[in-house]
Amino acid sequence: VGGRSCNAGHVHLVLNIPPKYSVSHTVGFLKGKSAILIHRHLTDRNRGFTGKHFWSIGYFESTVGLVEQMVK
């Protein structure tokens, strides 16, 4: 975004989260479900992911408001 190169070690998402859901809960849900799906896809296994880590701890959030199209 903005002419900078993106590091392959992170993911950018633009989300519209309803006010009844917290950002931390939504990000935790997305990280958890995506880690399981990626694990299943790469290993062809449906079980055995408990206790393993895929994503790093933490996340960054920012609001975009009126500049949403520019960020996309």
CA dihedral sign of residues 66, 15, 55, 41? negative
pLDDT beyond 80 at 72: no
Q: What is the reported pLDDT for 1?
A: 39
pLDDT digit string (tens) for 38-59? 888 877 766 666 666 677 777 7
Which range has the top average pLDDT, 7-11, 22-26, 53-57?
A: 22-26
> Contact at 8 Å (CB) between 19 and 69?
no
User: For the chain, what is the mean pLDDT?
Assistant: 75
pTM over 0.85: no
